[in-house]
Structure 1
Amino acid sequence: MDVLDKIVDEITLVISKVRREELYDVVSIIKKDSKIFVDGQGRSGLIAKGFAMRLMHLGYEVYVVGETITPSIQKGNIYFSISGSGESECVILNTKKAKEKGCIIVSITSKPHSTIGILSDKTIIVPGDTKNDVGEARNSVQLLSSLFDQSLHIVLDALCLILSKENNISNKEATERHW
C-alpha cells in the first residue's frame, strides 16, 4: 500500500460525500458586510485560522475566536463552529455564547447530531473519521482526526472559491490583500 495514494483515496471518498447544497446554503448567508468569526480547537482550529485568512484575502471582515484582537460577537454576526466530533468543549461553550447573542451559527463537523450540530442554523457535514471513531466506525488508516482535518481544509477552500466567483474576486485582487 502506497500511503500517499491511500490518503488521497480516503480524502476523495470523504469529499464525494459532502453535500454541495450545504456549501451553497452557507454561501447564501455570507454577505460582503458580514462580520465573521471562526472557531475550532487543535488541528481543526489551525485549519479554521487558514479559512479566516482566506476570507480576509477575499475582503471579508473576519476574526479568529480567542485571538487578542478579536472583538465581541454581536447579534447577526456569522459564527463558524468547527469540530470533527462536534463535542470540543471550548467550541461548544463559544457556540452557545454566540447562539445566545443572536448570531448565525454555521457548524462544520463529521457528526450532525453532535452538540454543535444541534446548535447550528446551517451545517456542512464533512464525514471524515475523527479521533473518537474506533472499531467498525473507523474507516481511515490515518491517525486521530487527520482525515477530517484534510477534508475540512479542502471543503473550506471550496467555500472560499465559490465566494470569490460569486463576488468576482480575482486572484490579483486577493493577492493585493496578502501579506
Structure 2
Amino acid sequence: MALVNEVLSEIQEVMTQVDDAQLDAAENIITKDKRIFVLGAGRSGLMVKGFAMRLMHIGYTVFVIGETITPSIAEGDVLVAVSGSGTTGSVVGPAQKAADNGVHVIGVTSNSTSPLATLGEATIVVPGATKAGDGVKSIQLLSTLFDQSVHITLDILTLMISRRDHVSNDTAKATHSNME
C-alpha cells in the first residue's frame, strides 16, 4: 500500500499545479461548431485518444491525426496536441503547421517554455515528470506521472465542457459503443 500512497501523492502534487485559467481557455476554444482533432505520440497519443473518445461521447465531431479515416484539418478547426517534453517532432511539426493555417491549437505539455507551449492559442501545463526528467519528480518510470496526470486533466476538461453544454451522463452513455 505504500507504493499506492506514494503514486497518489505524486498525482495530487501535479494536479494542484494545473492552472484553472488554462483549462478555462481550452474549454472556451472547444465548441460544438468546430471539428476537434487530437495528436500525440506514444503514451501521450493514447491519453489524447481517450480524450477524443470522451468528446465523441458528449456529442463532438472528433478525429485522431494519423488514423486512416481522419479528414484533412482546416482553418477554424481545433487541434489538441500532447507532448510531455513539448519538443516531440511528430507532434510539434504538425501543430505548428496547423497553427500557421488558422487552426486553433491547444498544447498540453509539462514544459511551459517548449515549442508546443508557445505555438498554440492555449496551453495546459501538466507538470508531471517525463522521460526527460523535467516536471514533478516521480518514483515511476519514464513519463508515467505525466501520462496519468494528462488523462485526469483531459477528463476534467471533458467534464467542464459537458457541464457547460448540459450533457448528462445518461446522454453520454447513449453514445457509448454498443458493439462490445
TM-score (norm 2): 0.95
Match of 1:70 in 2: 70
Alignment of 1:12-161 (within 5 A): 12-133=12-133, 139-161=137-159
Q: What is the rounded CA distance, in whole Å, between the counterparts of 2:35 and 2:70 in structure 1?
A: 11
Q: What is the rounded CA distance, in whole Å, between the counterparts of 1:25 and 1:92 in structure 2?
A: 20
- Write out per-residue CA displacement over residues 114-160 of structure 1, whole angstroms, 9 at most, x where no aligned residue: 111111110000000100017xx661111100000000000000000
Q: What is the rounded CA distance, in whole Å, between the counterparts of 1:7 and 1:74 in structure 2?
A: 40
Q: What is the rounded CA distance, in whole Å, between the counterparts of 1:103 and 1:138 in structure 2?
A: 31
Structure 2 residue 149 is the aligned partner of structure 1 residue 172: no
Aligned-residue Cα RMSD (Å) equals 1.2
For residue 19 of structure 2, what is the amino acid of its counterpart? Answer: R
Q: What is the rounded CA distance, in whole Å, between the counterparts of 2:100 and 2:121 in structure 1?
A: 13
- Write out per-residue CA displacement over residues 38-83 of structure 1, whole angstroms, 9 at most, x where no aligned residue: 0000001001100000000010000000000100000011111100
Provide the secondary structure at the position in 1 that maps to 2:87. Answer: coil
4+ runs of 1 displaced by more than 3 Å?
A: none
Q: What is the rounded CA distance, in whole Å, between the counterparts of 2:136 and 2:12 in structure 1?
A: 16
Structure 2 residue 7 is the aligned partner of structure 1 residue 7: yes
Provide the secondary structure at the position in 2 that maps to 1:33. Answer: coil
Residue 63 of structure 1 contacts residue 70 of structure 1 at CA under 8 Å; is this kept in 2?
yes
Task: Identify the range of structure 1 (65-74 vs 113-122) with the bigger mean alpha-carbon deviation.
Answer: 113-122
Structure 1: state its 5+ residue gaps: none
Residue 73 of structure 1 contacts residue 101 of structure 1 at CA under 8 Å; is this kept in 2?
no
Provide the secondary structure at the position in 2 that maps to 1:17. Answer: coil
For residue 13 of structure 1, what is the amino acid of its counterpart? Answer: E
Residue 107 of structure 2 contacts residue 116 of structure 2 at CA under 8 Å; is this kept in 1?
yes
TM-score (norm 1): 0.96
Residue 10 of structure 2 contacts residue 136 of structure 2 at CA under 8 Å; is this kept in 1?
no
Residue 87 of structure 1 contacts residue 115 of structure 1 at CA under 8 Å; is this kept in 2?
yes
Number of residue pairs aligned between Structure 1 and Structure 2:
177
Structure 2: state its 5+ residue gaps: none
Q: What is the rounded CA distance, in whole Å, between the counterparts of 1:51 and 1:111 in structure 2?
A: 20
Q: What is the rounded CA distance, in whole Å, between the counterparts of 2:99 and 2:18 in structure 1?
A: 25
Give % identity. 46
